[in-house]
A = this chain, B = another copy of it.
């Protein structure tokens, strides 16, 4: 089954293609300039900023739908992508936004247009390598850009809430599983990894203790190269050892009881 490309067919006849009532939104996070970035769309006409989202094809797995949206906006495949929450308030979706957009596009939607129904939204978050992303707006938006998470204004509908819940989830998960590497290039230095942690957790960490704890996990491979070019001592490059990581996951990284 092909996903329709034409705006009018897609919007007007969504009920032909998509599962009713269900939408999804993706919080796509990247790391650049020592800052956490989130990928946002600027909607046509309204100019409102929104998270990339989409709908689920009638015969499509929800996870596949999320991966599809991620691919369409970033070009990336096989990426760390997890559902984190369902947003199901009855008044969360707002048909009037879509109505205005359609009207400004010269389309007069019927009052029972598919888009005006109530949607619940499944929230997904993705951790991506900033450098590998080619942001690409969809048919409904004029821009698709990275925004510093500290410089986010008011987003469409409940998207601020969705974003915050995603960040909260990432922070929690970072404490229990070393997911941070997903945001870095394949080779990275220990200071870079630490800065990433400090940024996500919004907390300063001790350089030496961080190094010790991190290496103790046994999931990093220190390479024989160093990152030259900085004006100071060249730090070693590390890469992530996926095999050891999978092993560690099974045992659980830190216990609890």
| Residues of chain A at the chain B interface (Cβ within 8 Å) | 19-22, 56, 58-63, 83, 85-86, 88-90, 118, 120, 122, 174-176, 197, 201, 203, 205, 213, 254-257
* Cα-based distance from A255 to B256 in the complex (angstroms): 11
Task: Tell me the complex Cα distance, A75–B234, Å.
Answer: 65
**A118 & B58 in contact (Cβ 8 Å cutoff):** yes
Q: Of all chain B residues, which has the CB nearest A60? A: B90
Tell me whether B197 and A257 are in contact (CB under 8 A): yes
Counting every copy of the chain, the complex holds: 2
CB contact under 8 A between A122 and B88, given known A19-B21, A20-B20: yes
- Quick one: which of B83, B89, B90 contacts A86, CB cutoff 8 A? B83
Q: Which of B63, B86, B89, B255 contacts A122 (CB 8 A)?
A: B86
Determine how close the nearest CB of chain B comes to the CB of A158; give it in whole angstroms: 12
Q: Can you list 8 A-B contacts with CB-CB less than 8 angstroms, sorted by A residue number?
A: A20-B20, A20-B21, A56-B120, A60-B90, A62-B89, A62-B120, A174-B257, A197-B257
Please judge, given known A-B contacts A21-B20, A21-B22, A22-B22, whether A203 and B61 are in contact too, CB under 8 Å.
no
Which of B86, B88, B122, B257 contacts A201, CB < 8 Å? B257
- Which label, helix, strand, loop or mixed, suits the secondary structure of the A interface? mixed
How far, in whole Å, are A92 and B255 apart by their CA atoms in the complex?
A: 33
Q: Which residues of B contact A174 (CB under 8 A)?
A: 256-257
Give the complex CA separation of A89 and B22 in angstroms: 13
Known contacts A21-B21, A257-B175; is-contact A86 B62 (Cβ 8 Å): yes
Determine the chain B residues whose CB is within 8 A of the CB of A257 once the complex forms: 174-175, 197, 201, 203, 205, 213
**Most B-side CB within 10 Å, residue of A19, A58, A61:** A19
Q: Which residues of B contact A86 (CB under 8 A)?
A: 62, 83, 86, 122
Give chain B nearest CB distance to A137 CB in angstroms: 26
Q: Are A255 and B61 in contact (CB under 8 A)?
A: no
Residues of B within 8 Å of A19, CB to CB, are: 21, 118, 120
Closest partner residue, chain B, to A201 (CB atom): B257
Q: Are B256 and A175 in contact (CB under 8 A)?
A: yes
> Within the assembled complex, what's the spacing in Å between the Cα atoms of A213 and B256?
10
B residues near A20, Cβ cutoff 8 Å: 20-21
CA distance A89 to B89 in the complex (A): 23
> Given the complex of chains A and B, what is the CA–CA distance between A86 and B86 in angstroms?
8
Also in contact, A88 and B59, with CB within 8 A (given A22-B22, A197-B257, A201-B257): no
How close is A59's CB to chain B, nearest CB, in angstroms?
Answer: 5
Nearest Cβ in chain B — how far from A211, in angstroms? 13
